[in-house]
Amino acid sequence: MKPINVGLLGIGTVGGGTFTVLKRNEEEITRRAGRPIRITAVADKNLELARKVAGEGVKLTDDAFAVVADPEIDIVVELIGGYGIAKELVLKAIENGKHVVTANKALLAVHGNEIFAAAQKKGVMVAFEAAVAGGIPIIKALREGLSANRIQWLAGIINGTTNFILSEMRDKGLPFAEVLKEAQALGYAEADPTFDIEGIDAAHKVTIMSAIAFGVPMQFEAAHIEGITALDSVDIAYAEQLGYRIKLLGISRMRPEGIELRVHPTLIPAKRLIANVEGAMNAVVVHGDAVGATLYYGKGAGAEPTASAVIADLVDVTRLHTADPEHRVPHLAFQPEQVRDLKVLPIEEVHTSYYLRMRVDDKPGVLADITRILADSGISIEAMIQKEAPEGASQTDIIMLTHLTIEKNANAAITKIEALPVVQGKITRLRMESLQ
Ligand SMILES: NC(=O)C1=CN([C@@H]2O[C@H](COP(=O)(O)OP(=O)(O)OC[C@H]3O[C@@H](n4cnc5c(N)ncnc54)[C@H](OP(=O)(O)O)[C@@H]3O)[C@@H](O)[C@H]2O)C=CC1
Ligand SMILES: N[C@@H](CC=O)C(=O)O
Ligand code: NA
């Protein structure tokens, strides 16, 4: 059967990996796709690099619009990144009746509603397995493997750069800046690494998973986002003492009144499998009403792990494209008409439990004052440690773990506790998730 022709936009880390794996595993991939998949055109700003990777026999250009206009191309693979020209190129490819495969989670989280609507109108497919958790087939799991379930919640370590940083800081005591540089050198980080360390990349990804799991539009602008730059290493140590690990989690939960959509450092019981996901690895837990908890684990970043997901989409789209167009169910395109009008809840309405660290005067009655305020706010305490005041010091740290409460109750209690004369400065508050 004649090959399907692919135009590749951007032959950097992931683009290069895609080219290499497609070549190395050509026979297997062809068998699975039912026909050969050929990259026949590549666009990149750096033509010398492109030729080095692509070799002879591939059309090269520094004008990506020439590729999306090429009548010979059936599928466009967008691996440039960002919200700018990538959006124009994807929409133009759709307008020209081409299927799209992309790893661009930023683009889909912010402009996905427009892109999927255009794809559905044109009857083409937009596949994006590589956009979330790299090589882990979590999109296919949510869209197909778990399609019998009402998804109740999902939570994941979905940014390899920050997980690598937290692992190295905890295990080797290395400083943040040094580990970030190493993550960049390893090709994990985004072009702008603030997207990684401020939680934006993870928020892009959990927005996409939430939309598929709960059948809602992309609502990235409503997500609550905290990164790891404000995290204090003393809290990493205290969490360990209390039997917890701190991970940057993307969380989305279905509630009767709406959806929780949040990214923040989170204490997870150390005995949970996901608490032991280290380095650049990713993991996602999805809880469905029929199947219960399911766990997906693998490399979330890097050239070939991400290329694995890009090529999985190429195989899926090739098979569907080859099927009779009359009966083609573009299951890969996001079905805009199916979305429900469920809004994202403000962070003040989320239900979670808390790790609280406060610096207090070391004198009788302090604990009673604090626990009274928590009790009056309907917040009960799960565990507590009071550190011995260092020799001659008059202040000490109290660490408390609360049971489940609503964020606005915790906010009110924290404000009252901080107002106590015996409490010095601001309370450090981290959310906790049992993930059960
Ligand atoms: N790296 C990873 O592990 C993962 C990345 N992703 C996503 O994959 C996408 C690509 O990431 P990655 O491969 O790491 O990025 P890279 O920066 O390594 O590659 C992007 C390539 O696109 C080229 N490029 C930029 N602008 C244009 C343009 N206008 N026309 C043609 N080529 C252009 C770049 O050239 P130049 O360098 O000269 O600008 C570069 O070669 C991003 O959306 C990213 O978020 C998803 C999962 C994992
Ligand atoms: N910068 C991202 C790359 C993959 O999406 C990460 O660190 O996970
Ligand atoms: Na994936």
Label residue 92 exposed, middle or buried (CB < 10 Å: 0-12, 13-18, 19+): middle
- The CA 87 to ligand 3 mean position distance, Å, reads 20
Given the structure tokens 């050198």, which residue do they identify?
185
Binding site membership of 306 for ligand 1 (Cβ less than 6 Å): yes
Ligand 2 center–CA 8 separation, angstroms: 20
CB 162 within 8 A of CB 197: yes
Give per-residue pLDDT as tens, 119-175.
988 989 999 999 999 999 999 999 999 999 999 999 999 999 999 999 998 888 888
Q: Is 52 in the pocket of ligand 1 (CB under 6 A)?
A: no
- Which pTM does this prediction carry? 0.95
- Of all protein residues, the one whose alpha carbon is nearest to atom 19 of ligand 1 is 12
pLDDT of residue 393: 84
Q: Which of 205, 247, 408, 426 is catalytic?
A: 205
**Per-residue pLDDT at 330:** 58
Give 8-32 pLDDT, tens digit per residue: 999 999 999 999 999 999 999 999 9
Q: Tell the burial category of 396 from Cβ atoms under 10 Å away from its Cβ (0-12, 13-18, 19+).
A: middle
pLDDT at 392: 85
CA-closest candidate to residue 208, choices 268, 160, 288, 154: 154
Asked if 79 and 309 count as a contact pair (C-beta separation under 8 A), the reply is no
Question: Which residues fall within 8 angstroms of residue 323, CB to CB, at 6 or more apart?
Answer: none
Please say if the pLDDT value at position 213 is more than 90.
yes
Sorted by sequence, the CB contacts under 8 Å of residue 186 that are 6+ apart come out as 164, 280, 302
Q: Which ligand lies nearest the alpha carbon of 187?
A: 1
Q: Looking at residues 81-85, what average pLDDT do you find?
A: 93
User: Dihedral of CA 318/309/287/151: which sign?
Assistant: negative
Pair type for strands 292-299 and 281-288:
antiparallel
Any idea which of 34-38, 72-76, 301-305 has the lowest mean pLDDT? 301-305
pLDDT at 243 over 80: yes
Ligand 1 touching residue 159 (CB < 6 A): no
* Residue 413 CA, ligand 3 centroid: distance in Å: 40
pLDDT band at 268 (very low <50, low <70, confident <90, very high): very high
Exposed/middle/buried for residue 43 (C-beta within 10 Å: 0-12, 13-18, 19+): buried
The count of other CB atoms within 10 Å of the CB of residue 36 is: 16
pLDDT of residue 327 exceeding 80: no
Q: Which ligand is nearest to the CA of 66?
A: 1
Residue located via tokens 């080797």: 172
Report which protein residue has its CA nearest ligand 1's atom 16.
Answer: 12
**Quick check: CB of 43 below 6 Å from ligand 1?**
yes
Rounded Cα distance between 225 and 208, Å, is 15
Kindly tell me if the per-residue pLDDT of 285 is higher than 80: yes
Ligand nearest to the Cα of 141, by number:
3
User: DSSP string spanning 73-119?
Assistant: -SEEEE-S-SSSHHHHHHHHHHHTT-EEEE--HHHHHHHHHHHHHHH
Instruction: Quote the ligand 3 centre to 143 CA distance (angstroms).
Output: 12
Min mean pLDDT across 21-35, 46-60, 319-333 is at 319-333
**Tokens for 88?**
């124009």
Catalytic residue check, 181: no
Average model confidence (pLDDT) across the chain:
94
**Which single residue is written with the structure tokens 């080095």?**
52
- What pLDDT score does 336 carry? 63
Mutate to test the pocket of ligand 1, among 46, 79, 101 (most ligand atoms within 8 A of CB): 79
CA of 305 to the centre of ligand 2 (A): 11
Q: Looking at residue 390, what is its pLDDT? A: 77
Give the Cα separation of 90 and 99 in Å (integer): 9
Task: Tell me the per-residue pLDDT of 333-358, one tens digit each, with 9 for 90 and over.
Answer: 566 666 778 899 999 999 999 999 99
| 187 Rama sector, left if φ>0, alpha if ψ -120 to 50, beta otherwise | left
ipTM exceeding the 0.90 mark: yes
Reported as a single tens digit per residue, the pLDDT across 308-325 is 999 999 999 999 888 877
CA-CA distance, 425 to 403, in Å (whole number)? 24
Ligand 2 atom with the smallest distance to the CA of 161 is 7
Q: Which residues line ligand 2 (CB under 6 A)?
A: 134, 159-161, 188-190, 196, 201, 300-301
Q: What confidence score (pLDDT) does residue 125 get?
A: 92
- Mean pLDDT across the stretch 406-433? 97
CA distance between the termini of the chain: 48
Measured CA distances, 50 to 13, 100, 226 (Å): 11, 20, 37
Helices (H), 323-420: 366-376, 407-419
Residue, of 203 and 385, whose pLDDT is higher:
203
Helix, strand and coil percent figures for the chain, each rounded to 5: 40, 25, 30
How does pLDDT run across 420-434, given as a tens digit for each residue? 999 999 999 999 999
